[in-house]
Structure 1
Amino acid sequence: MANVIVAFSKPEDAKNIRNILAKNGFSVASVCTSGAQAINSADELGSGIVVCGARFADMVYEELYDCLPPGVRMLLVASPGLWNGRAPEDVVCLGLPLKVHDLISTLEMMMESLVRRRRKQRLKPLERSREEQELIKQAKELLMDRNHMTEADAHRYLQKCSMDSGTNMVETAQMIMSLINR
């Protein structure tokens, strides 16, 4: 489950929201009373959700949103007049008076969205640098020359060794190069 940062200018509001979230099984990483504190907490966590009010002593929610790292989403809890039509596209807004059920269900929806996004990032193939691609190519050429393999066989051999040893293909290519070039 993703981390939640609670940020409201009034400490009692922040504590009340934290208590509601904790009672409903959410992991509240920090409680903040200023935008700067929320930004610092978000930078430390790298991903999660900021549940916040519209105004702080040092900034408004739009400035806070602009300073958040890419993996952090915002749930704005404020009067509709403060954000109506002006909130950034991917900021989720809940109007006051706040209903606990609405807060919990909205946060659960945002958590699911974060999990899907992380899964999608994880499944995206890794981009190899030119040096890494060259190293893999050299290892395949060495295997092809020494063991009379086709390029496809050499590639499959590298993949199998990589999976068997639990290392990535670049590390496996390095091992093969160091073993053969002794």
Structure 2
Amino acid sequence: MATIVVAFPKIEDAKAIKGLLVRNGYTVAPPCTTGAQAINIADNLSDGIIICGYKLSDMLYTDLYEYKPRSFQLLLVASKSLWSDCEYNDIVCAAMPIKVNDLLSTLQMMMQSQLRRRRKARIQPRQRSEEEQKIIDQAKILLMEKNNLTEPEAHRYIQKCSMDSGNSFVESAQMVIGIYS
């Protein structure tokens, strides 16, 4: 589960929101009063959500949005009149005074969004370097010449060797090159 960073100009507000979230099962980092503290905590985490007010002691929420890690989402808790930049960015807004159920449901929605994004990133194939692609192509050419295979058949052969041996695709291609060279 992603970690939540709470940043408000008054430490009492930050502690109150942290306590509420912890009671509802969320993992929350120590509360912050400055944007620099929130960014520092977020830099040490893989992903999560930053909940903040409109103005912190050292920066506005727009500055915090610019400097936060890309893997973090921002939840602005402020009056509706201060939401001017939210519609242009992917900043989620919650109206002040915030109701507990509204905050929890908004956080749940944001967590689901991050989970979908993580799953989508995991599904996409890893990009190979030019050197790795050259090794694979060389192995396929050798298989095509020596065993009279088509390109898809050579690819499937290397893939099967990779799966059977537990090695990566590139390592299996290197083994084919070692055998036939």
TM-score (norm: length of structure 1): 0.90
Question: What secondary structure, in the 3-state scheme, does the structure 2 residue paired with 1:178 have?
Answer: helix
Q: How does 1:76-155 map to 2 (within 5 A)?
A: 76-83=76-83, 85-87=84-86, 88-155=88-155
> Are residue 66 (structure 1) and residue 70 (structure 2) matched?
no
So what's the TM-score if we normalise by structure 2?
0.91
Q: Indicate the residue corresponding to 1:57 in structure 2.
A: 57
Distance 1:166 1:20 in 2: 46
Map 1:155-174 onto structure 2 (within 5 A). Answer: 155-174=155-174
Gaps of 5+ in 2: none
Counterpart position of 2:2 = 2
Q: Which moved more, 1:162-171 or 1:119-128?
A: 162-171
- Report Cα offsets for 1:9-61 as digits up to 9, x if no partner: 21111111111111111111342221001111112213211011111111010
SS in 1 for 2:58: coil
Matched with 2:43 is 43
State how far apart, in whole Å, the 2-side matches of 1:23 and 1:165 are: 48
CA RMSD of superposed structures (Å): 1.7
Deviation at 1:180, TM superposition (A): 4.2
The residue identity in structure 1 corresponding to 2:16 is N
How high is the sequence identity, in percent, across the aligned residues?
54
- Residues 93-117 of structure 1: CA deviation (Å, up to 9, x unaligned): 1111110000000000000001111
Distance 1:131 1:30 in 2: 45
CA distance, structure 2, for counterparts of residue 165 and residue 65 of structure 1: 46
Q: Check whether the contact 1:4–1:30 (CA below 8 A) recurs between aligned residues.
A: no
